[in-house]
Amino acid sequence: MRNFKELKIWQKGFEIAIDTYKVVGTFPNSEKYSLAQQVTRSAISIPSNIAEGSSRSSEKDYNRFLEISLGSSFELETQLLVAKAVNFGDMQLINATLGKIDEGQKMIMSFIRKLNP
């Protein structure tokens, strides 16, 4: 079992999740129960799947959870791009979070490649 809290990909995912909650806090009240819920679910899924995967004994299972985490990051990116397109929330926070998501995606993809030479 790996200590997921020491993984830079988990730390980045955790940071993205926290930042996403800050972004959602700037959404209009009318969006608190629709797009906002989808956004927060996707964000939480990123570090959560990294953590869950680190508990798995096989590399195959671990890899599967990393891929789910990566998929959640692409889902979150898409949702924030929609929020940006319809002018929901603080654009500076959204742009900063999108930058972190991009970094996180690159980190996860690199980590997956290292696990699967």
Name the residue among 105, 3, 115 with its Cα closest to residue 59.
115
**Is the per-residue pLDDT at 102 higher than 80?**
yes
Question: What is d(CA 21, CA 19) in angstroms, rounded to the nearest whole number?
Answer: 5
By three-state DSSP, how is residue 95 classified? helix
DSSP letter, residue 30: G
Supply the pLDDT for residue 34. 87
The pLDDT tens digits for 35-87 are 999 999 999 999 999 999 999 888 889 999 999 999 999 999 999 999 999 99
The pLDDT tens digits for 3-29 are 899 999 999 999 999 999 999 999 998
Cβ(42)–Cβ(83) below 8 Å:
no
**Is the per-residue pLDDT at 1 higher than 90?**
no
pLDDT (average), residues 100-111: 97
Name the residue among 15, 1, 83 with its Cα closest to residue 44.
15
Cβ(35)–Cβ(81) below 8 Å:
no
Sequence letter at residue 41? R
Q: How many domains does the chain have?
A: 1
Residue 33 is part of a domain; what is its CATH number? 1.20.1440.60
Residue range(s) defining the domain that contains residue 22: 4-115
